[in-house]
Amino acid sequence: MQEELLFAGFGGQGVMFVGQLLAYAAMDQGYEVTWIPSYGPEMRGGTAHCYVVISDKPIGSPVVRNPKVAIAFNKPSYEKYEGLVAEGGLIAYNASLIETQGERKDIDQIAVPATSLADELGNLKLANIVMLGALLTVRPVLTLDAIREALDAHIPSHRRNLLPLNLQALDKGAAVVADRLAT
């Protein structure tokens, strides 16, 4: 098994944190992992993306040309990376900020109103965790329990007070997609 994921958005949307969280969770579960961050010219407000590769065997190269999964947090990222997703892959996107999906019929697309759901929780910065919960419900690369454990183990001490909200955001993202899949 090898999964290649791309997380992309504006700096400040938690793109790096959510990618790193997934990488930590995979390492904690005994998988081989790479996490490669890339920032635009500005940190907050500029573009940011990261690649995460998870495998049960040694990873030959951390370079990913056509990820199997992409998570777009904003419209410029969606427009830039939708075309790179491997055939048969998946793009999950923040439907609160991206109004329409592209024309590709050879990939799955899932719209998640992540910013709106995070706002319901009282913190817009939780949209990244909402997206992760939704993604892992559609494409269970890791279990939600593995993410919960990684959050508990790796959340920075100065953000520890946000652990309960992060767990709620994870569940909210999972629930919105699970409801859709059930209908």
Contact 90, 133 (CB under 8 A): no
Phi-psi region of 83 (alpha: psi -120 to 50; beta: other; left: phi over 0): alpha
By C-alpha distance, which of 102, 92, 106, 100 is closest to 174?
A: 92
Q: How far is CA 119 from CA 13, 68, 71, 122, 130, in A?
A: 13, 29, 19, 5, 11
Mean pLDDT by 10 residues, the chain (183 residues): 93 88 96 88 69 94 90 92 94 90 87 95 94 96 96 90 94 89 66
- Domain residues for the domain of 19 are 2-182
How many Cβ atoms from other residues are within 10 Å of residue 145's Cβ?
A: 10
Domain CATH number, residue 34: 3.40.920.10
pLDDT of residue 44: 56
Burial of 130 (0-12, 13-18, 19+ CB in 10 A): buried
**pTM summary value:** 0.90
pLDDT of residue 64: 87
Distance of CA 107 to the CA centre of its chain: 17
Q: How many residues does the chain have?
A: 183
> What CA–CA distance (Å, rounded) separates 26 from 121?
27
Task: Name the domain count of the chain.
Answer: 1
pLDDT of residue 99: 86
